[in-house]
């Protein structure tokens, strides 16, 4: 195998990060871990029969036997690893992942790459990187969708916005917002597990106990799950993201169990964390909340493909995934001045969550518009049309426009929305202090909590809910009619600022109960 001419993995090409300079080679003996994501049984990267995704959900055991890895593919990868002196440290057939470790010199030979240390002087970020494509021997090239981990640059940002001046606006507690959005008050998420993906930061039990006690709630059960060596490490700016996610989801569904999957902020860590959560039969999450992402253009195609396959897994086994749509308007903070949407919010198989600005009086919403504070440098909801993901069937009749720069009729972002403006945001406790926090990072766990409540009432997980939500349409949503994300404007029905709108929890639950069973 080592003497055969390697084949490049499609979509694996990498360039250095913007502003990065090459510093030095990576020492030959340094240990590296990589995750190989493989095709499904039958040679498919995604499930060929979409009715398998949209129809009856499968148990995790059923899924593994029908859509897991091909045993022959796994054995071929193991033989490849041994031939190049790499160790197999984890093989997970249901999610089609195999993790290999070995020294840099062996990794470079196995995948036909040169690894170097790169640095961005302005930020001090250092990472192990590569340029060009990853290649593998032809005997296994057809089986491999992605090789992740050779390059360990940071890939995502938390979509959280901390209010610059913490007074005088009081904002809302998550409990108050749940009441404003008419979440069913008799439900508490009992019997449900909400999975939360985190790529940095951490939480303290002391802060959580104080926060929930002050709200008059019993602190939820929270468990940290380590992925790829990621751990609960409070003490940096990402703590605001972690605490926001846990406190919003926990306040909305206080009796739900919360499993927080900590992973490194790399494409390998992100994909592995999602896959671990989706296929976690021990904690068994029925909902997963993700508040991290980056412009879809910044990802390699192989990483997008690997993550899309993981989200399709989630849809097929009945796990709902809620994802923040981004906090930088229609450009998604890209420096080229063009329109961009965030990923993984642009995935077909997730519920993409945009942001609004809410004002209320006497327990009622008096105004709700598109969140846009760009003129004050306090963010705006992400939204737009994907350049890579095709328009899904559930969006074909809601008026998603062509992407104006490419004329591609792509996936519209977001699907739904909720309060995200830091000026009308969420009262959250972080590192011993209470402050006002916003961002679409808050909307993903808000919706995750709502799904936990609805799953409790329905007695089964809603799973991939997008087709049902679009079928129900405006009667179960607060339609947002005013505002812009910097390019797109709010309009009646679906729009690329707030999607279908913000939730009317009671009406949405009633409408879902009225839909015929699959």
> What is the per-residue pLDDT across 368-393, written as a single tens digit (0 to 9) for each?
999 999 998 889 999 999 999 999 99
Check if the beta carbon of residue 57 is closer than 8 Å to that of residue 30: no
The Cα–Cα gap between 354 and 370 comes to 9
User: How does residue 430 score in pLDDT terms, banded at 50, 70 and 90?
Assistant: very high
* CA 380-381-387 angle, 5° bins: 120
Mean pLDDT score of the chain, rounded to an integer? 95
pLDDT per residue as tens digits for the range 270-312: 999 999 999 999 999 999 999 999 999 999 999 999 999 999 9
The Cα–Cα gap between 129 and 113 comes to 10
Residue 311 phi, psi (nearest 5): -70, -35
Mean pLDDT of 456-478: 95
Residues of the chain with pLDDT > 70: what percent?
97
The Cα–Cα gap between 269 and 473 comes to 35
pLDDT per residue as tens digits for the range 108-143: 999 999 999 999 999 999 999 999 999 999 999 999
pLDDT at 169 over 70: no
User: How does residue 168 score in pLDDT terms, banded at 50, 70 and 90?
Assistant: low
What's 508's DSSP letter? H
**Which domains does the chain possess?**
7-148 (no CATH), 157-383+415-513 (3.40.50.200)
The Cα–Cα gap between 47 and 7 comes to 24
The pLDDT score that the predictor gives to residue 131 is: 96
The pLDDT score that the predictor gives to residue 78 is: 98
Mean pLDDT of 341-352: 98
pLDDT per residue as tens digits for the range 85-98: 999 999 999 999 99
User: How does residue 2 score in pLDDT terms, banded at 50, 70 and 90?
Assistant: low
* CA 411-159-10 angle, 5° bins: 50
Mean pLDDT of 313-330: 97
Coil, strand or helix at 8: strand
Residue 492 phi, psi (nearest 5): -65, 135
pLDDT per residue as tens digits for the range 71-80: 999 999 999 9
The residues assigned a catalytic role are: 241, 245, 441
Cα–Cα distances in Å, from 382 out to 266, 299, 300, 411, 448? 22, 17, 21, 14, 19
| Torsion angle (degrees, nearest 10) of CA 442, 267, 234, 249 | 30
The Cα–Cα gap between 138 and 153 comes to 28
pLDDT per residue as tens digits for the range 8-65: 999 999 999 999 999 999 999 999 999 999 999 988 888 877 766 776 789 999 999 9
Coil, strand or helix at 403: coil
Say whether pTM exceeds 0.95: yes
């Amino acid at each position: 195998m080592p003497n055969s001419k390697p084949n490049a993995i499609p979509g694996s090409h990498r360039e250095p990060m913007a502003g990065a300079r090459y510093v030095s080679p990576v020492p030959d003996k340094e240990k590296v871990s990589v995750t190989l994501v493989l095709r499904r049984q039958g040679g498919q990267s995604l499930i060929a029969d979409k009715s398998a995704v949209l129809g009856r959900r499968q148990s995790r055991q059923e899924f593994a036997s029908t859509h897991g890895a091909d045993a022959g593919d796994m054995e071929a990868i193991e033989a490849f690893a041994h031939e190049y002196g790499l160790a197999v440290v984890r093989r997970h057939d249901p999610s089609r992942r195999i993790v290999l470790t070995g020294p840099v010199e062996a990794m470079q030979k196995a995948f036909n790459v040169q690894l170097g240390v790169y640095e961005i002087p302005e930020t001090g970020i250092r990472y192990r990187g590569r340029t060009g494509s990853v290649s593998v021997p032809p005997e296994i090239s057809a089986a491999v969708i992605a090789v992740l981990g050779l390059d360990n640059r940071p890939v995502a940002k938390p979509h959280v916005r901390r209010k610059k001046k913490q007074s005088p606006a009081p904002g809302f507690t998550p409990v108050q917002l749940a009441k404003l959005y008419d979440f069913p008050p008799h439900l508490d998420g009992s019997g449900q597990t909400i999975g939360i993906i985190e790529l940095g930061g951490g939480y303290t039990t002391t802060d959580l106990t104080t926060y929930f006690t002050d709200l008059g709630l019993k602190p939820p059960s929270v468990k940290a799950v380590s992925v790829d060596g990621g751990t609960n490490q409070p003490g940096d700016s990402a703590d605001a993201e972690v605490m926001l996610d846990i406190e919003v989801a926990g306040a909305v569904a206080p009796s739900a169990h919360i499993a927080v999957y900590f992973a490194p902020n790399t494409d390998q860590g992100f994909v592995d964390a999602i896959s671990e959560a989706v296929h976690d039969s021990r904690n068994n999450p029925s909902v997963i909340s993700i508040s991290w992402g980056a412009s879809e253009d910044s990802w390699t195609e192989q990483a997008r493909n690997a993550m899309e396959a993981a989200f399709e897994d989630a849809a097929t086994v009945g796990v709902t995934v809620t994802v923040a749509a981004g906090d930088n308007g229609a450009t998604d903070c890209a420096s080229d001045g063009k329109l961009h949407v965030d990923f993984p919010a642009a995935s077909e198989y997730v519920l993409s969550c945009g942001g609004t600005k809410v004002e209320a009086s006497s327990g009622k919403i008096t105004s709700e518009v598109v969140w846009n504070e760009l003129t004050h440098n306090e963010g705006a909801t992400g939204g737009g049309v994907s350049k890579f993901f095709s328009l899904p069937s559930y969006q074909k009749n809601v008026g998603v426009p062509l992407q104006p720069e490419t004329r591609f009729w792509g996936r519209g972002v977001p699907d739904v929305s909720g309060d995200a403006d830091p000026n009308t945001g969420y009262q959250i406790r972080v590192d011993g202090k209470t402050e006002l926090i916003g961002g679409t990072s808050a909307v993903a766990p808000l919706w995750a909590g709502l799904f936990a409540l609805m799953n409790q009432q329905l007695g089964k997980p809603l799973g991939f809910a997008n087709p049902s939500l679009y079928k129900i349409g405006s009667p179960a949503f607060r339609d947002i009619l005013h505002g812009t994300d910097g390019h797109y404007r709010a309009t009646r029905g679906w729009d690329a600022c707030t999607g279908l709108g913000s939730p009317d929890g009671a009406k949405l639950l009633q409408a879902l109960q009225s839909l015929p069973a699959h």
